Structure 1
Amino acid sequence: MSRSLGTKPIDLLAQFTATLQFEDLPEDVVAKAKIHIADTLGAALAGTRSAEFRIAGAVATAAGETPVWGTKRYTSAHDAALLNGVAAHALELDDSGGCDHSGAVVLPAVMAAIGKVARPVSGKQLITAVVAGYDAGRRLLEAAGGYDAHNSLGWHSTATCGTFAAAAGASRLLGLDPLASRDAMTLSTSFSSGLWAFIHDGSQAKKIHAGRASEGGLLATELAAGGMTGPSRVFDDVWGGFFRTFNKDTCQPEKLSEDLGVDFKLRRAVLKPYASCRGAHSAIDALEDMLVETGRTPAQIRSIGLAMSPMLMGMCGARENGALAPTQMSLPYALAARCVHGSAGLESYTQERREDPRIVELMARMTLSVDEGMLPLDEPIVSVEFDDGFRIQRMVPRATGSAERPMPLASVAAKFRALAAMATDDTRADALWSMLTDLDQFDDVAELISRLSGDADNRATFR
């Protein structure tokens, strides 16, 4: 076993992760990091009202001193990473475009690791660790062939690559040296898991993936900090290696270290304004654009057509309005919710609104087709026919929340406040947002962490 760093991509990435400083981060990356940290915390506070969080919380009951966000409970660092990760991903409002859901795997692990540090942790240190985690997680996914190649095989990249992201972020926060950082990241691959099988029957399994990845990454980091060695050849072309195991045909290991310090992967992460799988978001935008452009209302729609790639059809093509988990994966429901309830936000996914008979009636007027000529990640083409026979179609290449179609800061803040208020009061939510916008000015994030408590346990489960 090699106990020194060489020039392999994983060695270069470990060296970069271990030595990254706040001063190395461009201004735009710092600004975006603060937004994604706030967005993830907002999603997590709301997610403490989810059924999945409450089920997991009844199981993960270890004693400890690490806070469970949105509650007044404390638990072990490992269970906190698990529970806070479950909460962040539970309501489909956490960011994507990273490993895929980087915020929900990186931030819970990094913040759980804070309790392992004897000295105060500054906002700048927190931001740097989060950036390192986002960078590593996305790099592993790209090295594994990219989202379409990896996920099309049935792996859920949030879970398979998320452990690596969490380990990178936690190891940076703990100040591990380059060799120990490599151990942490390579050890984390032994905890990589997570399948798309949940899509076939509405299982809640997806909701646990981010938390499990966060907990696994933190565990790998603590083991490495204690001296446990990782498999240094896990990213070589060897039997049992990550790439051979997860996607042996299209891997590009060099992407682990390509343009380190220049191409910060956080830049490609996107926010989610709608409470559904990201695969549905561009279609919602397309429908919205066509309604605005024509000056018409949803009540005037006769029918909707959707042309989709085979991958998107399998992921989001079901007409669902029953249980919450599968409904959030349904593109037809998202469009119907926008038409019937005026929004595809979380408020349109309550049980009462899912059961609205107008939803089923409108989904029945949708025609879904697979376009074999589309690439896996091509966005759907949305066609609308109105009552007077007028037809229009649109495809939005990058949905709201992306760099090409950004959410205004006021919208990001409004989303945060609405979600945070599901577990705390409005005054506390406002104060939290103010603190997070100035995160890089804090010498000690302990006050921020204390402000993440809430009374979600005394509020009704979101259904």
Structure 2
Amino acid sequence: MSALSQSVGDFIARTRYEDLSPAAVDMTKRCLLDAIGVSLGASGLGEGCRAFIDLALEQGGRAQCAILGEQRQAPPEAAAFANGALAHALDYEDSHDGALIHPNAPVVPAALAIAEAFAPVSGRDLITAVAIGCDVGVRMALSLRVSLAEFGWYPPPILAAFGATAAAARLLHLDTRQTVDALSLLQCQSTCSGEIIHSPHSLVRAVRDAFAARAGVTSALLAHRGVTGFDAPLEGRAGFFACYARNQYDPQALTAELGRRFEIENISFKPWPSCRGTHAAIEAALHGVRLHRIRPQQIDRVVIHGGRMLSMLAEPIDSKRRPSTAIDAKFSLPFTVATALVHGRVGLQSFLPGALTDAEVLRLAARIEVRSDAPHPTAIGAVLELHLHDSTTTRIEVDRPRGGPGNPLSDEDLIEKFIECAGHAARPLDAASARRFVDTLLNLEQLERVDDLMTLLH
């Protein structure tokens, strides 16, 4: 094995619950709560998810693992596939603002599937696996000196798939060699074309993490059965970094303080169900409504200034001003900001079919311009200019939107979010049942069997 792949494999195989800081443990439990909640909501509201759930159930096999929002169960690969489709469908899951990925979207479905299929798995083991998986995905992203998008890839599910594999490998107690095998086998399965951002009518952007979650589980299970991989899946001459990033990466960013500092401590939770890149502008718009008392009838036009990352949320401008799918609306600065200015809120109901044809929102969205001309301390920061009919202009700047480490959601915010999402599940969870689940999950380290937690959703 080569040094870099072995270092990552060692970290995944050898890290224990006792190695986690109290902050990492607490954040991992919050990530699990948030991920399960938004997935439950997607089982009832998510576009395109039903096909993945039906396919998972139709394939048969041992009914071992929960499909969120469903009464029936499926084998681990199929459950990870279905739950992975749910993970991002509402675009409401956690994110890492520095890495610009959703590291836990495939990690949690993969970890839950293995935890149930190979029961008994303790709450401490699940916490450890998810913290490791999150760390691997984020570090892979932070190590890149160039975006994979430069070469035609869509980075989030590709990078987070390494985390899903790591979490599954840790729960299966793979040794270092087997873990490197699993990371090798992942690269035979997981990819995502950058064409995903150029096809506004496609639903693939919503369900993309189905493929990453299933690939993570399959890779770990095959390595567990003795299938060998490559010596250097990461840094080899045809390894991941060579193939996907033309070797433009920093190995130190991947390994610095590995096992001592966990990136899960830096996760952001979303207060609004849309792309994290829209949040600074949404927050600025809500400030305009609530603090400056600006009404949509006063607005002549709106200009949003931001960095390069925000350009994908405004192109092509015609479809972004009149999105035809919920997931495209969630990736639209004109639509989300117009919604915030017109209704004074952005929530799950803002992306239902009727909301996409809201005449007042569409009229204002048509007058919103996005300019990638203002770099900020964070890639997702934005400046909102509200040009009013009386020739005055209100300028509002937000660099670090609500939900991040510097301005976090409270536990009660996350609990209320979970209860709301669970109430929209295909099989809705009442508030009392949701509270019981929350109470159990927030004490997950005391639980001997993770499958006992999952039965609370049935």
TM-score, normalising length: structure 1 = 0.90
Q: 1:171 to 1:437 in 2, by over 3 A?
A: same
Q: What amino acid sits opposite 1:320 in the alignment?
A: R
Is residue 425 of structure 2 the alignment partner of residue 425 of structure 1?
no
CA contact (8 A) 1:16 1:260 kept: yes
Structure-1 residue corresponding to 2:86: 87
Structure-2 residue corresponding to 1:347: 349
Greater alpha carbon shift after TM alignment, 36-45 vs 203-212: 203-212
Q: Secondary structure at the match of 1:251?
A: coil
Q: 1:420 to 1:152 in 2, by over 3 A?
A: farther
Structure-2 residue corresponding to 1:106: 107
1:21-420 maps to which residues of 2 (within 5 A)?
21-49=16-44, 50-60=46-56, 61-63=58-60, 64-65=62-63, 66-97=65-96, 100-118=101-119, 120-145=120-145, 149-202=147-200, 203-238=202-237, 240-248=238-246, 250-317=248-315, 318-371=320-373, 377=379, 379-420=381-422
CA contact (8 A) 1:62 1:76 kept: no
How much is the aligned-residue C-alpha RMSD, in angstroms? 2.1
Report the alpha carbon displacement of residue 278 of structure 1 after superposing the two structures with TM: 1.2
CA contact (8 A) 2:321 2:332 kept: yes
CA contact (8 A) 2:5 2:233 kept: no
CA contact (8 A) 2:116 2:450 kept: no
Q: Secondary structure at the match of 1:307?
A: strand
Select the residue among 428, 434, 454 that pairs with 1:449.
454
Q: What amino acid sits opposite 1:440 in the alignment?
A: E
- Unpaired runs of at least 5, structure 1: 454-463
CA contact (8 A) 1:137 1:162 kept: yes
Report the alpha carbon displacement of residue 263 of structure 1 after superposing the two structures with TM: 2.3
Residues 88-129 of structure 1, C-alpha deviations (whole Å, 9 max, x = no match)? 1111111111672222200111111123425x2111111000
Q: What amino acid sits opposite 2:110 in the alignment?
A: A
Report the alpha carbon displacement of residue 298 of structure 1 after superposing the two structures with TM: 4.4
Report the alpha carbon displacement of residue 291 of structure 1 after superposing the two structures with TM: 3.6
Deviating beyond 6 angstroms after TM superposition, the runs of 4 or more aligned structure 1 residues are 372-376
Is residue 15 of structure 2 the alignment partner of residue 11 of structure 1?
no
CA contact (8 A) 2:285 2:341 kept: no
Q: What amino acid sits opposite 1:17 in the alignment?
A: I
Report the alpha carbon displacement of residue 279 of structure 1 after superposing the two structures with TM: 1.1
Report the alpha carbon displacement of residue 198 of structure 1 after superposing the two structures with TM: 2.3
Structure-2 residue corresponding to 1:434: 439
The share of aligned pairs that are identical, in percent, is: 28
Report the alpha carbon displacement of residue 142 of structure 1 after superposing the two structures with TM: 1.9
Greater alpha carbon shift after TM alignment, 227-236 vs 371-380: 371-380
CA contact (8 A) 1:99 1:137 kept: no
Residues 341-374 of structure 1, C-alpha deviations (whole Å, 9 max, x = no match)? 2211111111112211101111122223332877
Q: 1:373 to 1:278 in 2, by over 3 A?
A: closer
Q: What amino acid sits opposite 2:362 in the alignment?
A: V
Q: What amino acid sits opposite 2:59 in the alignment?
A: A
CA contact (8 A) 1:273 1:401 kept: yes
Report the alpha carbon displacement of residue 441 of structure 1 after superposing the two structures with TM: 1.5
Report the alpha carbon displacement of residue 81 of structure 1 after superposing the two structures with TM: 0.2
Separation in 1 of the partners of 2:306 and 2:374? 8
Q: What amino acid sits opposite 1:227 in the alignment?
A: G
Separation in 2 of the partners of 1:277 and 1:232? 37
Report the alpha carbon displacement of residue 380 of structure 1 after superposing the two structures with TM: 2.7
- Unpaired runs of at least 5, structure 2: none
Structure-2 residue corresponding to 1:458: none
CA contact (8 A) 1:304 1:366 kept: yes
Q: Secondary structure at the match of 1:90?
A: coil
Q: 1:54 to 1:48 in 2, by over 3 A?
A: same
CA contact (8 A) 2:203 2:327 kept: yes
Q: Secondary structure at the match of 1:394?
A: strand
Separation in 1 of the partners of 2:383 and 2:41? 32
TM-score, normalising length: structure 2 = 0.91
CA contact (8 A) 2:5 2:232 kept: no
Report the alpha carbon displacement of residue 376 of structure 1 after superposing the two structures with TM: 9.7
CA contact (8 A) 2:13 2:175 kept: yes
CA contact (8 A) 1:276 1:328 kept: yes
Q: Secondary structure at the match of 1:294?
A: coil
CA contact (8 A) 1:124 1:441 kept: yes
Separation in 2 of the partners of 1:374 and 1:23? 38
Matched residue count: 444
Greater alpha carbon shift after TM alignment, 344-353 vs 248-257: 248-257
Separation in 2 of the partners of 1:374 and 1:268? 19
